[in-house]
Structure 1
Amino acid sequence: MGDTLIYLVPAFGVLGLLYTFWKSAWVAKQEVGTERMDRIAKAIADGAMAFLKAEYRVLIIFVLA
């Protein structure tokens, strides 16, 4: 059983990544919708990136320490 897990765990990891890329491509192909929906989506994306930038600034202190 232990020998099987050595191959099974990375295989499922690769399958998970492939599924993620497939679903990501599907989402990217979908229509944006109306102009208002596009503006809202961009505002959400900008806010998310601002949050991540602030989060990484805090986390870098703990990573480097």
Structure 2
Amino acid sequence: MEKLIYLVPVFGLIGLIYTLVKFNWVSKQDAGTDRMKEISNYIAEGAMAFLKAE
């Protein structure tokens, strides 16, 4: 049971490292065609307008 106190931070660190690796992988992916980028900009603008209205 006392080993659990050491396992929790270790698993937390493993989770953070995994998240960082996935973030880097997603960031390196192609954003798509010009039309896809245009649509994503519209979605981002709409989301920000919604958040400001709330």
With normalisation by structure 1, the TM-score equals 0.64
Gaps of 5+ in 2: none
Larger RCO (alpha carbons 8 Å, 6+ apart): 2
> Deviation per CA, 1:13-61, whole angstroms, max 9, x where unpaired?
110010001000000000111011112223333416853xx4xxxxxxx
Displacement of 1:5 in angstroms is 0.6
Whole-angstrom CA distance in 2 between matches of 1:16 and 1:8:
12
Give the number of aligned pairs.
52
RMSD, aligned CA: 2.3
More helix by share: 1
With normalisation by structure 2, the TM-score equals 0.74
